[in-house]
């Protein structure tokens, strides 16, 4: 667990299905998890730092360890209503609509390119942090890049163009200085300009 901004923790863990490391986040003061897997420190870490009350998903595929966390702490799990069809096995998932303000005063914004429920979340920490789902990734401290074409679909160039448009809209409309990526390391400081340049197709 690493505190990347005051009151905001990041960690990586191996996804049980895809067997690669993915990123999760915890906003301590409102006790909100984003796209969580259980950290290496285990559930006791949360018992020592404040038990989570809510879990927000940037898309339905990031349910991850929500069931275990809900059972341990009684968390409410929130997903864009466009993705609720995924949950047919008794999962207790609450719906939100892009544009809603969620627990922790976290704002939700439509992306909806890779899947209809893809959502950006603006977290009011430091100068603002924007959580993104699967459209853009980052290896270490490298540049922002798209996921590989085989993960995008049959028309990757068209999808990339739509993602660039969505990210440009977010970068133009929102105040934020940090990016919280579901796949890859977070970008701390200068992330709004980095996302704007990525959306414009400029070289990193």
Encode pLDDT of 68-77 as tens digits: 999 999 999 9
The rounded distance, in Å, linking the Cα atoms of 149 and 82 is 24
Helices (H), 25-101: 44-49, 66-73
According to DSSP, residue 184 is labeled B
pLDDT bracket for residue 35 (50, 70, 90): very high
Architecture category of domain 2-199 in CATH? 4-Layer Sandwich (3.60)
Percentage of the chain modeled with pLDDT above 90: 87
Q: Is the pLDDT of residue 38 over 80?
A: yes
pLDDT tens digits for range 78-103: 999 999 999 988 899 999 999 999 99
The residues near 52 (Cβ < 8 Å, ≥ 6 apart) are 26, 31, 32, 33, 36, 46, 69, 73, 75
Mean pLDDT check: name the lowest of 9-18, 19-28, 48-57, 135-144: 9-18
pLDDT at 14 over 90: no
Output the CA angle 88-89-93, nearest 5 degrees.
70
pLDDT of residue 98: 97
The residue-averaged pLDDT of 13-37 equals: 90
- Triad 190, 191, 195: Cα angle to 5°: 130
What pLDDT band is residue 17 in, cutting at 50, 70 and 90? confident
Residue 204 has pLDDT above 70, yes or no: no
Identify whether the C-beta of residue 135 lies closer than 8 Å to the C-beta of residue 163: yes
- Return the pLDDT at 104: 96
Instruction: Name the band, by pLDDT with cuts 50, 70 and 90, for residue 122.
Output: very high
Residue 138 confidence (pLDDT) above 70? yes
Q: Which residue has the higher pLDDT, 142 or 14?
A: 142
- Would you kindly state where each structural domain of the chain is located, as residue ranges? 2-199
Biggest alpha carbon–alpha carbon distance for the chain = 47
């Amino acid at each position: 667990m690493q505190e990347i901004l005051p009151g905001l923790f990041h960690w990586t863990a191996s996804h049980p299905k895809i067997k690669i490391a993915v990123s999760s986040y915890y906003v301590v003061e409102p006790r909100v998890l984003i796209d969580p897997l259980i950290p290496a420190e285990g559930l006791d870490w949360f018992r020592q730092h404040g038990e989570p009350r809510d879990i927000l998903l940037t898309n339905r595929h990031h349910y991850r360890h929500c069931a275990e966390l809900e059972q341990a702490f009684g968390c409410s799990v929130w997903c864009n209503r466009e993705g609720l069809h995924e949950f047919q096995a008794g999962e207790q998932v609450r719906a939100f609509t892009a544009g809603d303000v969620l627990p922790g005063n976290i704002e939700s914004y439509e992306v909806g390119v890779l899947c209809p429920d893809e959502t950006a979340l603006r977290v009011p920490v430091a100068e603002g942090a924007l959580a993104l789902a699967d459209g853009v990734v980052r290896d270490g401290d490298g540049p922002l890049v798209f996921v590989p074409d085989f993960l995008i679909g049959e028309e990757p160039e068209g999808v990339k163009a739509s993602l660039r448009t969505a990210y440009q809209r977010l970068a133009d409309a929102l105040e934020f200085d940090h990016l919280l990526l579901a796949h890859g390391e977070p970008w701390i400081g200068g992330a709004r300009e980095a996302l704007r340049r990525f959306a414009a197709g400029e070289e990193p």
